[in-house]
Structures are given as C-alpha cells and as structure tokens.
Amino acid sequence: MQILDRRLNPSGKSLENRQRFLRRAKAHIQRAVREASQDRNISDILDGGEISIPADGLNEPRFHHGPGGIHDNVLPGNKTFSEGDILPRPEGGGGRGAGGASDGGADAEDAFRFMLTREEFLDLFLDDLELPDLAKRKLADVEHEGLRRAGYSVSGSPVNLAVTRTSRLALARRIALRRPTPQRIEQLEAELAACEDAERRAAMRAEIAALKTRMKRIPYIDPIDIRYRRFENVPKPVAQAVMFCLMDVSGSMSEHMKDLAKRFYMLLYIFLTRRYRHVEIVFIRHTDKAEEVDEETFFRSPATGGTVVSSALEAMRRIVQDRYRPQDWNIYAAQASDGDNSYGDGELTASLITNAILPVCQYFAYLEVGEAGQHDNPVMPNSALWGIYERLATEGQALAMRKVSNRSEIYPVFRDLFQRQHEGKAV
C-alpha cells in the first residue's frame, strides 16, 4: 500500500475547464451580468457575485425517454395499499408517486446559478470598452518598463539558462578538444573482448585507459559553455490620460437625477481605474460656482445652489492649463447635467466649449439626466444645454451626447459611449 499526500498539489486543476466553460457561456453570462448590475448597489458590483444564467446553450443532450408510455415501478414503504387498488393520478402529470425515475428530465435544470469571482465579473462587465482616440503617447515617468530579449550573457539566474545555446557551445568544445565518445570506448572494449593477441590486448587496454582519462579531463559541460538569456529593461511609451468628470449638483437636479449621474460616474470610475493604470481623474462639481473635489465628496456629499455651467467649464480649462499640457495628455471629459443653465450663461458656455474645451479634448461625452420617463415624451422641448451641444456635434466636433431617464438605461448608454470602435477613427 502506498499513501500519497496530494493536498499540497497545486489547486485549481479544473481552472482551465472553468475558463472554457465561461468562454462558452460568455454571451449568456454577459447578459446576466448586465441585468445583475442594474439592481445592484454600485459598490457591490466591484465584489463580483452570484449570477444566474439559463441552462440552454450549455446543455449536454442525451437520448432519454420522454413522458408517456406504460411504467411499472417498484417502491418501498407500502402502508395501506392492497393489490388491485386504483390510485388517482397526481396533479400535473406523473408526479413522484407514479413517475418515479422517469420524471425530472430535461426541465429539471432551468437555470444555473454560480459564483463569479470579482475579476471575472469585472472583466465581463467592462468587456470591449475603451477610451476612444488614445493618440498621444509619451515616455511618461519611467515607471512603466518592459523586458526585452537582448542576446546572451555568461552570468545570470538559473531560470534564464539558455539550454540550446549552452549545449551547442559544449558540443563545439567537445569536438574541438577531441573528447572521446562513449561509443568509441564501447567499440574498443568490444574489440578487446574479441581479441586474442596478448600484445594487442595490452595496447588496446592502454588506449582505453587513455581515452577514459581524457574523457574525464574534458567535461561534458564546462562552466565556460554556460550561457544565459539576457533581458534588458526598455521603457515603454505610455498613454497618459486625464478624465474630467463634470457634474451638475444644483437645486434643479432631483434626487433621481443625481442618482443617475452618480451611477454613470461610478461606472466610469470603475472602468477607468480597472482598465487604465495611467489615467488621472479630476472631479469637478458645480452649482453656480464650480469646485474641484475628491472622489469621496464628489459621490457622497450633498450641495445645492443655482446653475452656471460655464463655471465648471472654466474650472476645467484652468486645471488643464495648470496641470495637463494638451501636447502630452489625452484629455477626456464627461459631463452630466439636467440640461438647465441660467439664462445668459448660454453664450459663455458655447464659446468656452468651442474655443477652450473641445480643441484640447480627445472626446467629450455629455449625459443629460431626466426624471423617469421624461425623455420618452416627444413634446418636451430640448434643454438649453442640449441645444448648444447638438449644434456643436453637427458641426463635427468630437462630442457624444445621450439622454438617460432610467436606471436601466445607464449601463447601455455607458457602453454605447465607450464602446470600442473597431474601424478606428484615428487622428
């Protein structure tokens, strides 16, 4: 008998099978993930969690008997029946008492619940999204380096041992120094065994001994043969990007609208922090005056007041000027508002956005939030801000705008705004 302890073996042997399964179920899972993200608290999204997907598409069909037909079944536990009794059929077709093993076939497994890890969840959640037009690349802080093969070296760590190169050198050296081959010695030994002549035998013995010492002196692999693969650090160009989040928190924004706007920024925040290491995020919120805040304040703390959109744009322009040189940075902005602006600010807003903001931005996304069902109403006139932006967009500026009035629309709109553009509209 033999006892083996396998507990220390690497776990996750079925990881690959699991990944294959996920790949196969991807479409279903993505839909489920999106649905799950609607009713979930946004901070929970980061935690992954349980997902339920329909089992079809993943089924493994087999031939098996369907319902119907004559069944004879033997069961344990007869308490009251006598031979010849007639029992009423259970409701809803062959239930437990009668059908026995025959039921519980195909539809026993209607949905399939399982846990996704946090990483798996986010991967699926943010799949196929990217910042558009990430064009300006620059050698940023040397933090980002890649390794590149750079020939061979005589010293290095054992993991980098270049086996082929080493044995090639060893072979060359062995040939050059005429190291006798084991075959040669074997051959001589065979001859020796066959040989009768005493003198000749002595000569051969001497030769074999000489060959053997020679073989010992010339090692099979010598330290001078050994080569290691050499790697060099190469700085890699990094695309630096900054995202400006501009949110209207004025009194005209209802709780519902703020919730929508915050959800949108949460998604954006998750997306940027998960996907890009070199993205800075600037949070600006505004009422009739704008202020740059940290994320905690941005998402959590309340504020109220009038609405002057240009104040936020002005703040953004100032920050760009101070900290983010447009030559080096890819600049993005996402603005969420209910579209109200104080009368008289329209001109200023339009000129700011045309002359100061859009020229430095790679992409500007505008999200107009409304009361539930508001945007379905075709009679409602466009808001002040929407009118301005629409005009700019038709002029061909890199500006995208969407309206959102329901929670469930947030994710689709978000995806829509940041969907990877395959044909690529490179600058």
Partner 1 sequence: MERLYQGAEWDFATLQRIHDACEEIGLRELGLDVYPTQIEVITTEQMVDAYSSIGMPLFYKHWSFGKHFTQHEALYRTGLRGLAYEIVINSSPCVCYLMGDNTATMQALVIAHAAFGHNHFFKNNYLFRQWTDAEGILDYLEFAKRYVARCEERHGHALVERTLDAAHALMAQSVDRYPGKKKLNLRQEEERERRRRNHKESSFNDLWRTVPTGRGKNVAELSIDRRRALLGLPQENILYFLEKNGPRLAPWQRELLRIVRHIAQYFYPQGQTKVMNEGTATYVHYRIMSRLHERGAISDGHYLEFLQSHTNVVFQPTWDDPRFSGFNPYALGFAMMRDIERIVTDPSDEDREWFPAIAGTGDAMAVLRDIWANYRDESFIGQYLSPRLMRDMRMFQLHDDPAETEGILVEAIQNERGYQRIRRQLARRHDIGWIDPNIEVVDVDLMGDRRLILHHNVVNGCALEEADAQRVLQHLANLWGYDVLLREIDSSDTVLKEHVCSPRNAVLAAA
Could you list the residues that contact partner 1 (CB under 8 A)? 1-7, 9, 11-14, 16-25, 58-79, 81-89, 94, 96-102, 105-106, 112-115
Toward partner 1, which CB reaches closer, 85 or 255? Answer: 85
Q: List beta partners, residue 365.
A: 334, 400
Amino acid at 124: L
CB of 60 to partner 1, least distance (A): 6
CB of 27 to partner 1, least distance (A): 14
Which residue reads 């003198």 in tokens?
Answer: 199
CB of 39 to partner 1, least distance (A): 20
CB of 28 to partner 1, least distance (A): 12
DSSP 8-class letter at 129: B
CB of 26 to partner 1, least distance (A): 11
Pairing between β-strand 363-369 and β-strand 330-337 as defined by DSSP bridges: parallel
DSSP letters for 202-264: HHHHHHHHHHHHHHHHS-SS-GGG--EEEEEEEE--EE-EEEEEEEE-STTS-HHHHHHHHHH
Closest CA to 152 of 143, 144, 160: 160
Q: How far apart are CA 77 and CA 17, in angstroms?
A: 43
CB of 70 to partner 1, least distance (A): 4
Toward partner 1, which CB reaches closer, 112 or 386? Answer: 112
Toward partner 1, which CB reaches closer, 66 or 158? Answer: 66
Toward partner 1, which CB reaches closer, 61 or 378? Answer: 61
Toward partner 1, which CB reaches closer, 117 or 421? Answer: 117
Q: How far apart are CA 333 and CA 281, in angstroms?
A: 10
Toward partner 1, which CB reaches closer, 15 or 142? Answer: 15
Toward partner 1, which CB reaches closer, 78 or 394? Answer: 78
Toward partner 1, which CB reaches closer, 79 or 425? Answer: 79
Q: List beta partners, residue 185.
A: none
End-to-end CA distance of the chain: 71
CB of 408 to partner 1, least distance (A): 27
Q: Find all residues with CB under 8 Å of 397, minimum gap 6, and list them.
A: 354, 358, 364
Q: How far apart are CA 279 and CA 134, in angstroms?
A: 11
Do residues 166 and 221 make contact, with C-beta atoms less than 8 angstroms apart?
yes
CB of 146 to partner 1, least distance (A): 27
